[in-house]
Amino acid sequence: MVDLDVGELLNECRYHLAEKKIPSNQGYFIGVKLEQFIFDAFTYAPSTALFEVLREEEFAPVKNANGSNFDTPDTARLLVLRLHTRWVVAAGGFLTHSVPLYTTGIFPSLLQICSCNNLSSCLKT
């Protein structure tokens, strides 16, 4: 798959049609969006492996602009902050907040996390 020329890949990949509401001065109208998905590349791979994972730990989609109800940069950021909070609590850390954890989270230094063999040892320093 890595050996494929990018131009060749672009020419061979198919598009999926999706109807989307598009805002305009006269209200919303239905438009057509061409989309490609990561699984479209599976046909070019010599083999694939799929894993079933917990959505809240592995998936934070960004499909819409901030201000939408779901799948925005803000909701993805909050999902990542909550994941990091769970990591710290699972490693024996604790958090003190004046704001409930369901509306916020923490953003630990990934450099520090990666330099530790285990997160609980990092929390003690």
30-79: pLDDT as tens digits: 999 888 887 887 887 888 888 899 988 888 888 888 888 889 998 888 88
Who contacts 32 (Cβ-Cβ below 8 Å, separation ≥6)? 17, 18, 19, 20
Both tokens of 112, joined, read 């520090």
CB 84 within 8 A of CB 56: no
Both tokens of 49, joined, read 């492996």
What is the DSSP secondary structure assignment for residue 96, as one 8-state letter? -
> Which pLDDT belongs to residue 96?
67
- What residue segments make up the domains of the chain, in order of their start? 1-50, 53-125
86-107: pLDDT as tens digits: 887 787 877 766 555 555 566 6
Who contacts 22 (Cβ-Cβ below 8 Å, separation ≥6)? 28, 29, 30, 31
Q: Which of residues 15 and 107 earns the better pLDDT score?
A: 15
